[in-house]
A and B are shown apart, each in its own frame.
Chain A
Amino acid sequence: MSSEESPQITRRTTRLSAANSENAVDSSKSCALKPLSVNDLLYGNSPISLEELISSFPGRRGQIIELMSLLGPVNSPMFPTFVHGGSSTGKTSIVLNIFRHLRRPFVYASCITCYSPRILFESILNQLMLHRKSDSNGYSSIKRCDKPSDFVNLLREALSGVIGTLQGNAEKAGSKKAARWPNGKMVYLIFDSLNLVKEWEKSSTILPFLFNLYDILRMPEVGLIFISNNSLDTYYADTGFVEPFPFHFPDYSEDDLRQILLKHQVNKNLYSSFLDVVLRPFCRITRRVNELSTALLPLFKKYCEPLGDLGAVPNEDMKRKLYGHLQRHIAPSLNETFRVSAGLTSGASRSKDNKRKGIVKKLEACTSSYELDFHMSTSAKFLLISAFLASRNPATLDASLFDSTGGSDNRKRKRKSSAKSLEQKETTEQELLMKGPGTFPLERLLAIFQCLTSVAEYSPDAEYSSDVEGQGNRATMGDSGYIGSHVLLQLSSLCNANFITKGGSCPLEGSTRYRSNVSEDLVLKVARSVKFPLSKYLYRR
Chain B
Amino acid sequence: MDLKNPVEQAVILLRSRLCNPNFIFTLFSDSPDSNYSKLKYIISSSVTESCNNSVLLLGPRGCGKLAVLELVLEDLLREFPDMISVIKLNGLLHSDDNCALKEIARQLCLEHQLAFSKMASSDENSQFLIAMLRECGLAHKTVLFVLDEFDLFAQGKQRLLYSLLDAMQSVTSQAVVIGVSCRLDADQLLEKRVRSRFSHRKLLFLPPSREDLQRLLEHALLLPSGSDLPHEFVANFNSNLLNIFADKKFKDIMDTVFNTDSTFKQVLTFLFSALCHLDLKCGFLSVENFKDALSNIQRQPKLECLKDCSILELYILVCMKRLEVREHETCNFNSIMKEYKSIHDSFQTTDYYARDVCRRAFEHLLQRELISFLDNRGHGHSIEFRPVKLLISWQELYQGLKSYGSCPAILYKLVERETTT
Contact = CB atoms under 8 A, between A and B. Distances in A.
A392 to B, nearest CB: 13
Interface in A175-222: 205, 208-209, 212, 215-216, 220
A216 B93 contact: yes
A499 to B, nearest CB: 10
A250 B277 contact: no
Given A233-B301, A334-B357, A367-B354, A73 B4 contact: yes
Interface in B51-78: 61-62, 66
B257 to A, nearest CB: 15
B310 A283 contact: yes
Nearest to B353: A335
Contact of B276 (A69, A75, A248, A503): A69
A218 B304 CA distance: 33
Nearest to A210: B92
A337 B387 CA distance: 25
B385 A435 contact: yes
A72 B103 contact: no
Interface in B253-278: 265, 269, 272-273, 276-277
Contacts of B2: 173
Interface in A121-180: 147-149, 152-153, 173
A355 B248 CA distance: 82
Given A72-B11, A72-B15, A434-B385, A79 B269 contact: yes
Contacts of A285: 310-312, 353, 357, 361
A149 B312 contact: no
A149 B152 CA distance: 14
Nearest to A517: B382
Interface stretch (B134-142, B235-243, B332-340): B332-340
Interface stretch (A108-116, A224-232, A478-486): A224-232
B16 A220 contact: yes
B33 interface: no
At the interface, is chain B mostly helix, strand, loop or mixed? helix
Given A73-B4, A233-B301, A338-B360, A208 B15 contact: no
Nearest to A502: B380
Given A72-B276, A231-B301, A434-B385, A215 B66 contact: yes
A130 to B, nearest CB: 23
Contact of A503 (B11, B94, B299, B380): B380
Interface string A366-408: 0110000000000000000000000000000000000000000
A286 B359 CA distance: 12
B367 A434 contact: no
A91 interface: no
A251 interface: yes
B19 interface: yes
Chain B, interface size category, equals 35 or more
Contacts of A152: 93
A245 B11 CA distance: 18
Interface in A37-82: 66, 69-70, 72-73, 75-79
Nearest to A282: B310
A434 B335 contact: yes
B151 interface: yes
A16 B18 CA distance: 62
A231 B312 contact: no
A110 to B, nearest CB: 17
B380 A515 contact: yes
A250 B308 contact: yes
A240 B182 contact: yes
A411 interface: no
Interface in B282-325: 299, 301-302, 304-305, 307-308, 310-312
Nearest to A286: B310
A248 B102 CA distance: 41
Contacts of B149: 239
Contact of A239 (B99, B182, B330, B360): B182
Contact of A433 (B19, B277, B334, B361): B334
A250 B99 contact: no
B384 interface: yes
B15 A76 contact: yes
Given A338-B356, A503-B380, A287 B367 contact: no
A230 B368 contact: yes
B369 interface: yes
Interface string B87-115: 00010111110010011001000000000
Given A230-B368, A232-B301, A234-B369, A77 B16 contact: yes
A433 B356 contact: no
Contacts of B360: 286, 337-338
A245 B332 CA distance: 36
B338 A433 contact: yes
20 contacts: A69-B277, A73-B11, A75-B12, A149-B93, A149-B99, A149-B103, A216-B93, A220-B19, A250-B307, A283-B310, A284-B351, A285-B357, A286-B310, A335-B353, A335-B356, A336-B357, A433-B332, A433-B335, A433-B338, A436-B382
Interface of A: 66, 69-70, 72-73, 75-79, 85-87, 147-149, 152-153, 173, 205, 208-209, 212, 215-216, 220, 229-234, 239-243, 245-246, 248, 250-251, 283-288, 334-339, 367-368, 430, 433-437, 501-504, 515, 517
**9 tightest A-B CB contacts, nearest first:** A436-B385, A231-B301, A335-B354, A251-B308, A149-B93, A77-B19, A284-B311, A76-B12, A503-B380
Given A245-B272, A517-B382, 19 more contacts: A72-B11, A73-B8, A76-B16, A78-B19, A86-B308, A148-B93, A149-B93, A149-B99, A232-B301, A239-B149, A240-B61, A240-B182, A251-B307, A285-B311, A286-B360, A334-B357, A335-B356, A338-B357, A434-B332
Interface of B: 2, 4, 8, 11-12, 15-16, 18-20, 61-62, 66, 90, 92-96, 99, 102-103, 106, 149, 151, 182-183, 265, 269, 272-273, 276-277, 299, 301-302, 304-305, 307-308, 310-312, 330, 332, 334-335, 338, 351, 353-354, 356-357, 360-361, 364, 367-369, 379-382, 384-385, 387
